[in-house]
Amino acid sequence: MNSATPPPLPEANSGLHTYLRTGVFLIPTLLAWAFTTLFLLPKVRQLWNDAGLMTSRVQWLMETAEFLIVPLAFIFVGGFVILLILEFWWPAWPRYRRVVFACIALFIHTVVLAGILAISTAALVAAPVLPDKKRTPLQSPQ
């Protein structure tokens, strides 16, 4: 092999192998997203309302949390449709499939982590503002 010839392109993985590997890699993130959407976000929303922070200057924090967590299901459906189109109608797709799925997995991990961080921060902002009558004996200030 002389220096003028480029190295061969890596072989494309099978679609099933790439999809299964990405799916297994995303299981913990999707479970965290489901827990956050179904349990954490409604609790923090109630906490936020009880603290009376809907019109405060930090309302952007709750809006960011909702923006990052709630529409993720729509993004999954749209991404699935795009991936179906790529799989069946673009002949060069197998060459790029693995890299695209790695980027998608990284993006989903980042969005879910940022959403959970925003929800946690919103809860930390709202908790000290709650009226004393809402506190239980275990939550009383020292």
Report residue 35 as tokens. 């827990």
C-alpha dihedral, 122 to 48 to 58 to 124, nearest 10°: -30
Average pLDDT of the segment spanning 81-92: 89
Task: Tell me how far apart the alpha carbons of residues 127 and 136 are, in angstroms, rounded to a whole number.
Answer: 12
Map out the domains of the chain as residue ranges. 15-129
Q: What is the pLDDT of residue 27?
A: 93
Q: How does pLDDT run across 103-119, given as a tens digit for each residue?
A: 999 998 998 898 889 88
